Amino acid sequence: MNATIDVNQIVADFEESKKTPNFPFVTLSYAQSIDGSIATKNRIQLGLSGAASMRMTHELRAVHDAILVGIGTIISDNPQLTVRLVPGASPQPMVIDSTLRFPLDSKLLKSQKMPWIATATQIDSMHENTLNEIGCRIMKFELDEHGKVPLTDLMRQLWLSGIKRIMVEGGASIITSFLELSLADLVIITIAPRFVGGLPAICRELKTTMSIKSAAYTHLNGDLVIWGQLA
């Protein structure tokens, strides 16, 4: 049976039980195949979501202040990260890019909202100057022991910058890191009825198993959409 999803109500309901004060409310949302793939083996983007699921994703974007992806997603997919299929304001693009590889031909540099880019404090280059001149906001952090932007520090800084709701879309390294740190308040996953044998959404073994608390689900024109609180 097909149905609709009131993502505005879902976000509002889960926001009441937000985990961390003075952090944005974090929604982790992505589409995967039935075997857990989010891309092909050679990292080619998969059009997994059907029309109804894609519209739901854009509705979800419209009720968040910012949308976060990793630099790998920018380089491989060149996404727009806007609200195009539904009425509403597009969220602020946020890109994690520890080595500042952000491409100058990115579609994000043609949007109304220039991207915010989280990178390392050690970065000091002509590329940084160029991105600044274009209008990007460069946010610098001391990298953690794994050479990555510390997500908890980033979330704290985004809260101070006025971001109260943030949607995390990927790719795999970003999804895995948010799960490892248990930073997501709400998880919404679209599962397409396709087998791909590609790259999985979880790119390394988690330190502990996780589940979705009080999971709910519905069908959207053949896709299965499941949501709930990360437990």
Does pLDDT of 2 surpass 70?
no
pLDDT of 3 reads 66
pLDDT averaged over every residue in the chain: 93
Q: Kindly list the domain boundaries of the chain, sorted by start residue.
A: 7-230
Q: What's the whole-model pTM score?
A: 0.94
| Coil/strand/helix, residue 78 | coil
Q: Is the pLDDT of residue 197 over 70?
A: yes
Of 15-29, 31-45, 82-96, 191-205, give the lowest mean pLDDT range: 31-45
Superfamily of domain covering 7-230: Dihydrofolate Reductase, subunit A (3.40.430.10)
Residue 121 backbone zone (phi > 0: left; psi -120 to 50: alpha; other: beta): alpha
pLDDT confidence of residue 155: 97
What is the pLDDT confidence band of residue 231, given thresholds at 50, 70 and 90?
A: confident
Task: State both tokens at 18.
Answer: 């937000």
Q: What is the pLDDT of residue 49?
A: 87
Q: In the structure encoding, which two tokens stand for residue 76, read together?
A: 């491989």
